[in-house]
Chains A and B, each alone.
Chain A
């Protein structure tokens, strides 16, 4: 596609439910990143993939969060037993390579609201 695509754009869920957020990166981009942006804050790193493997998941806040990228393109961020504190915009970014100096392109984000 022309850019990074994220679905859904908005998700409202009840506390305790499970949610999946999807990211479709730019075709051919090997590196994929997930960030979380709370209101009034800069994006914070969650996890990144190089190909199919999670190369760095140090930003995942706890074991309720998990992400996969089984075929090296589309990625899904999964959140179990959602809590109100999980409410934020979840941004996905991709870059052609994972090296520094490579422009990262962001998706529109998924606004998650846990009620």
Chain B
């Protein structure tokens, strides 16, 4: 199966700073890469995704970059706000949309 590694496991930033979380994967056939945000006690929610035909995608303060050659993709959050504090998971689905999740990054944005 897919091997997904996510770093860092915890990340603490000052409000207004940027945060970057990175995931690596093993299956070069993968072509869809979502990021999920999970607040305490809540369901994982998709915040951004990217398909392999593009190298970067932005949605306001959130962006994802993909390097297919190196088999890694990263989540970038700019101008962080306290409400960005949560656990973020990357995921890599197989051909049947079975998700392999990273171990999660706990982001703490200090006001």
A:32-84 near B, CB below 8 Å: 33, 35, 40-45, 48, 50, 55-56
Known A43-B44, A43-B89, A103-B46; judge A97-B103 contact (CB<8 A): no
**Complex Cα distance A109/B30, Å?**
27
Q: Which residues of A contact B30 (CB under 8 A)?
A: 100
Count, chain A residues at interface, CB 8 A: 30
The number of residue pairs between A and B whose CB atoms lie closer than 8 Å in the complex comes to 72
What bracket does the count of chain B residues touching chain A fall in? 20 to 34
Q: Is the CB of A91 within 8 A of B44?
A: yes
B:56-111 near A, CB below 8 Å: 89, 93-104
Q: Which residues of A contact B12 (CB under 8 A)?
A: none
**Complex Cα distance A35/B46, Å?**
16
**Complex Cα distance A103/B99, Å?**
11
A104 on the B face (CB < 8 A): yes
